[in-house]
Amino acid sequence: MDASKPIAGKVALVTGASRGIGLAIARSLARMGAKLSICARDEKKLGDAAHDLERSAIAVLAVPADVTRSSDITALVEKTSQSLGPVEILVNNAGTGYFGPTHLAGEADWDAVLDTNLKSVFLLTKAVAPGMIERRSGDVINIASLAGKNAFSGGGIYCASKWGLLGLTQCMAEDLRPYGIRVSAICPGTVATEFSPHAGKDPRKMLQPEDIAHAVEMIVTQAPRSFMSEILLRPTQKP
């Protein structure tokens, strides 16, 4: 095995990969030799990301998809399998947020956040798990958040989705570990992306998307007899 390509030829599916954390993770997996399937809702941004990744990846498939829809997920997994092969690494990164008093939020706000951050992980893992079980191997990596462990004003709906994601991750890990499948969560603090408000914070002291990508690298190169079930990621200095 080429030490510079430790996951050469493996098929990795990354959701929400058109920008930010997802794109950084896709770049990292590409450098490590993976064949990439990426998805996002914005077809234009997804195409730009695919063009960027094609410079380093051995194969890139870009599929516009809304991961809150089971029909889109079925099509995404089928296209990936047909074009690249069965999914061996799934990174559930797609996410959205609502930040404001919970009592002022609407039902649509709740549905958008919970469907994207939690339901999509259930649907995607359910779609790829049978193949992983058959092969008795696979990595499912869920990009959670320290908001899944810490409450803050205005974070009710977002925190609920991430607390739920951590519970789901831990239970899926127990369900799937007998088949050699590793299910892990990465919980970053505030990351310097356009995702959430950073008023008053110094972006130079914040986590960068590449920091989360590095955590993914550690998980997928872990010796097969063990797995990192949860990684808490903080900046060295408070922003």
Look at residue 204 and tell me whether its pLDDT is greater than 80. yes
Task: Give domain status of residue 5, yes or no.
Answer: no
pLDDT tens digits, residue range 16-75? 999 999 999 999 999 999 999 999 999 999 999 999 999 988 999 999 999 999 999 999
Please compute the mean of the pLDDT values over residues 92-116 and round it to a whole number. 97
Task: Give domain status of residue 6, yes or no.
Answer: no
Task: Give domain status of residue 2, yes or no.
Answer: no
Is-catalytic flag, 158? Answer: yes
Share of the chain above pLDDT 70, in %: 97
**Which tokens sit at 99?**
């930040």
Q: What is the CATH number of the domain that holds 41?
A: 3.40.50.720
Torsion of CA 214, 219, 223, 228, to 10 degrees: 120
Please compute the mean of the pLDDT values over residues 113-127 and round it to a whole number. 98
How many whole angstroms separate alpha carbon 13 and alpha carbon 39? 8
Task: Give domain status of residue 239, yes or no.
Answer: no
pLDDT tens digits, residue range 174-202? 999 999 999 999 999 999 987 765 666 78
Sheet of strand 89-92: strand arrangement: 60-64, 35-40, 11-15, 89-92, 138-143, 181-188, 230-233
Task: Give domain status of residue 133, yes or no.
Answer: yes
pLDDT band at 229; cut points 50, 70, 90:
very high
pLDDT band at 14; cut points 50, 70, 90:
very high
Q: How many helices (H) and strands (E) does the chain have?
A: 7, 7
Query: For residue 99, what are the domain limits?
Result: 11-233
Pick the catalytic residue: 53, 73, 158, 212? 158
Task: Give domain status of residue 238, yes or no.
Answer: no
Task: Give domain status of residue 3, yes or no.
Answer: no
Task: Give domain status of residue 4, yes or no.
Answer: no
Which has the closest alpha carbon to 20: 6, 40, 5, 34?
40
What are the φ and ψ backbone dihedral angles of 185, each rounded to 5 degrees? Answer: -125, 140
Q: What's the structural domain count of the chain?
A: 1
Q: Which pLDDT score is estimated for 5? A: 93
What does pTM read for this prediction? 0.96
